[in-house]
Chains A and B, each alone.
Chain A
Amino acid sequence: MSSPVFPFSAIIGQDEVCRALMAVAVDQSIGGILIFGDRGTGKSTAVRALAGLLPPIQVVRGCRFNSDPESHNEGTSPKKPIEVEKIPTPVVDLPLGATEDRIVGALDLEAALTRGEKVLEVGLLARANRGFLYIDEVNLLEDHLVDLLLDVAASGENVIEREGLSVRHPARFVLIGSGNPEEGELRPQLLDRFGLAVDVKTPTDLDTRVKIVKLRDAYERNPQSFVQEWKGKDAARRRKITRGRKLLAEMHVPDQIIRSAAALCAALGTDGLRGELTLIRTARALAAIDGKAEVGMKHLREAAPHALRHRLRRDPLDETDSGTRVARAVEEHLGC
């Protein structure tokens, strides 16, 4: 009954966001992506479309935490061989009005009411393990839920304590947030959890606009056949991600690139090492998407605004926005 999601490859005029999403899909250790921009720029469309693009993952059959068969040795008896199944990479929506018990996990209400039994029902964090957790309008999320997310994201582990039951399970996920900064800013602690911050601009050239409107119209009229039409292109993007993941292991990062990255971060005065690390990782992932064996200056230049923009110390009286400051520093230190 529900219509299929808008295909990723049919999103046009949003290359920066799409490339950044693919980079995170290639290397999840980049750690989250924040998409900021005006309303009506298709932020959530891009994220939802990503779900259709991700290659499936292998999990222990029936495991509620999407455990990886490779590292699954605790808790099960060694005699019993592990059964493996493939599931789509989870992309879990965290709706703004979600209550805490649904996020963390709690007792199964139905079992408790009908049979008086204590059965654990896992929450959104368990379902998102090894996948993506998406929060639309992340800047409007309630404070106590933000605290909870920060805590879990930092430790990679979720603890459920309810009615005398206590369960610990891995909760490693890539956080994706989108929002409009004009409607309330993000707390710095949460901002810092995102590896990349992408500023979505709305396309201002006529041809792109016309194309977007026509594609949208075609999709609305007949979603099924539209998705079918774009299947091939989506598959090509999926192959890029799969190939990228393989290339990543062998990726060569020249010394010069590392030095330039360090110089750039020093010039911008970003806090801590995290910025530099994310910058290099993102450049590597971008190179991998392009099918390269070596990171180039071009990739570093592309990664810099996303990886550094949200890590600058804010000068309350500096008018220029942080994106411009990064761009200026990139110009200066990475040349053209």
Chain B
Amino acid sequence: MEDSDPIPNQWDDACLVAALLSLSPRHCKGVAIRGRHGPVRDAWLHLLDDLCGKSTKLRRLPAHASEQRILGGLDLAATLKAGFPVADRGILADANGDLLVATMAERMNARLAAQIGQALDNGKLIAEREGLRLKSSARFGLVVLDESLDDEPPPSDALLEPLAFRIGLEDIPPNALDNPNYTADCLVAARERLPRVFTTDQVIEALCAASLRLGISSVRACTLAANVATVHAALKGRTETSQQDAEAALRLVLVPRATQWPQDEVPEEQEPEPPEPSEAPDNRGENSDDPPDLQELTDILVEAAKAILPRDLLTKVAMQKSIRARAAAAGRSGVGRSKAPRGRRAGTRPGQLTSGQRLNIVETLRAAAPWQTVRRRMNEGQGANGQRIEIRPDDIRIQKFHHPTESTIIFLVDASGSAAAQRLGEAKGAAELLLADCYVRRDQVALIAFRGKSAELVLPPTKSLVRAKRALTGLAGGGGTPLADALHMGGSLAQDQRKRGRSPILVLLTDGQANIAKDGTQGRAQASADALSIARALRAQGIQSLLLDISPRPRAAAAELATALDAHLELLPYADAQSVSNLVRREAASANSGL
């Protein structure tokens, strides 16, 4: 490690990525850039454009470009003018040999993202659209601009996974943008050198070993890392990959994908928890019987990874996972709801015009236009007027809509013990406050109270304020805490709501202390074990939850439950209806922001 270079700063690495990508988009596939629009990003894109020279162009791929525009289709105006089918090739096919810059990629629809990812993978595009079969080479590099905020879902994996690089430009001060050492001219020489660069077995093996120890499951990441090492060697004027190339590949390709702190390879010492980085054992000299070079290189790589891995890696990985799970769950529940004629316009589909559907006139005319000659000919001799435009049922195009998911807020209220009366009162108040403005948000509210031996659905999901008030009056409190049963009931209700196309949010008002087990028996240990296992199952289903700890003093049990549920935990020793309803509203808003 002594002789390796100091860790380059972020801007240097960003410049290196630009150089590698413009050197060979075929090997690197592309880069995902986190960071909002600003001088740093502009400077980087400028640099990339300069390095690409005249041979490769940067083309924009707007997030809201239509499927037709991206994949290609029938160019109707040209077709009608020419009298034979003329294809509009679409952005992907046009970008063959170039670099595509996808702006606001986190907003891109999952299906389109998947198709772009497939084209990137296959290097060609096959589209079957509107009477045409379009087959074209689509060898392009992709620059994904990710402007998502911390708690928003990042761009689809379909876009990110095939790309070699991920860089963040957020933390780079705009005044530190030195001129990089790369020019378009030096890349020309490197590009010529590239086909002759030999990727050594040692570098491949060390990168693969490092990928395993960093917990990277994708084998494609290894292939990309090996590619990048090769391109890096060409850039640095070598004809064979070396340790420096492997280090660059590790830093640029593997480390951003790491999901665990590097495990040390000594099997008897395997620790499930990441060891403190300071006490990382240095036992390199001891196992000198192993093939020295490979082992050594792997260790060098892993040590290098440790130096640059973010300290809060595990938290970050867990957070990303839960954001993704929620996005997927939301996407799933969104299926089948696009029929309602409100929300944002989201493409058209063929279909019958029934009540409640909206006709898209332009698309319908587009569908009918090419067939007018045939139809006129059919109608000749039947005395029909040849001047009219003939529209057949097949031509009808229905407008599809996409609108944000409607939430069902399910309160799980701990009605046991002494604080029951107050808690219930505040939950009731919060439910009523939420319902009071639900006609705007189209939310529904349900309430499950748990006390004694079991949980009870006091208020089934409703929008009706009157009904809620009636159901919530005269709720009694006291007795044991059947938390497991309550979670079970809440989970089933949440699943049921999901099937109805709504997105459920569980709001728990409890101190997390269970004392009645799933089967109704008493006992603290079993009860809390049951509750936690159900909570984990709920998390696995990606059900969003919010835990409001309303005990006077915060307890470990609540924190433990929140972790198992992956819930936001809020301490509310003096819960009042207004603050509960504000918190719930914020939670619901964060659930919808990703859509």
Contact = CB atoms under 8 A, between A and B. Distances in A.
Contact of A137 (B118, B126, B394): B118
Given A97-B71, A116-B377, A317-B534, A140 B111 contact: yes
B218 A41 contact: yes
A253 interface: no
Contacts of A269: none
A142 B111 contact: yes
Given A39-B157, A113-B370, A210-B204, A124 B128 contact: yes
Interface residues of B, number: 78
B223 A202 contact: no
Contacts of A44: 118, 121
Contacts of B536: 319
B374 A117 contact: yes
A180 B157 contact: yes
A140 B328 CA distance: 11
Interface string A87-119: 000000111111111110011111011101110
B194 to A, nearest CB: 11
A213 interface: yes
Given A44-B121, A137-B118, A209-B219, A98 B161 contact: no
A276 interface: no
Interface stretch (B99-107, B169-177, B330-338, B555-563): B330-338
B23 to A, nearest CB: 16
B222 A316 contact: no
B97 interface: no
Nearest to A101: B131
Interface stretch (A23-31, A76-84, A181-189): A181-189
A183 B373 CA distance: 44
Interface in A161-218: 162-164, 180, 182-185, 187, 202-204, 206, 209-210, 212-214, 216-217
A96 B85 contact: no
A3 to B, nearest CB: 8
Contacts of A124: 128
Given A182-B325, A217-B226, A98 B128 contact: yes
A142 B115 CA distance: 13
B227 to A, nearest CB: 8
Interface in B338-363: 349-351
A257 B280 CA distance: 54
A98 to B, nearest CB: 4
Contacts of B422: none
A321 B366 CA distance: 48
A2 to B, nearest CB: 7
A39 B371 contact: no
B328 to A, nearest CB: 5
B161 A204 contact: no
A68 interface: no
A259 interface: no
B149 interface: no
A204 B212 contact: yes
A102 B488 contact: no
Given A112-B373, A142-B111, A202 B219 contact: yes
A97 B115 contact: yes
A180 B79 CA distance: 39
B58 interface: no
A109 B161 contact: no
B544 interface: no
Given A113-B373, A209-B211, A101 B201 contact: no
A75 interface: no
A212 B222 contact: yes
A116 B377 CA distance: 7
B83 A113 contact: yes
Given A183-B110, A210-B205, A109 B218 contact: no
Contacts of A94: 128
A202 B208 CA distance: 13
Interface in A299-335: 316-319
A40 B220 contact: yes
A38 interface: yes
Contact of A107 (B114, B137, B371): B371
Given A213-B219, A217-B223, A98 B129 contact: yes
Contacts of A118: 374, 378
Interface in B525-565: 533-534, 536-538, 540-541
B217 interface: yes
Contacts of B328: 182-184
A162 B378 CA distance: 13
B158 interface: yes
Contact of B83 (A98, A114, A204, A217): A114
Interface of A: 1-2, 13, 38-42, 44, 93-103, 106-110, 112-114, 116-118, 121, 124, 136-137, 140, 142-144, 162-164, 180, 182-185, 187, 202-204, 206, 209-210, 212-214, 216-217, 316-319
The 4 closest A-B pairs by CB, nearest first: A40-B220, A40-B218, A102-B128, A109-B131
Given A109-B132, A317-B488, 18 more contacts: A96-B118, A97-B71, A99-B129, A102-B128, A108-B131, A113-B79, A118-B378, A124-B128, A140-B114, A163-B378, A163-B394, A183-B114, A184-B335, A206-B209, A209-B211, A214-B201, A217-B204, A317-B538
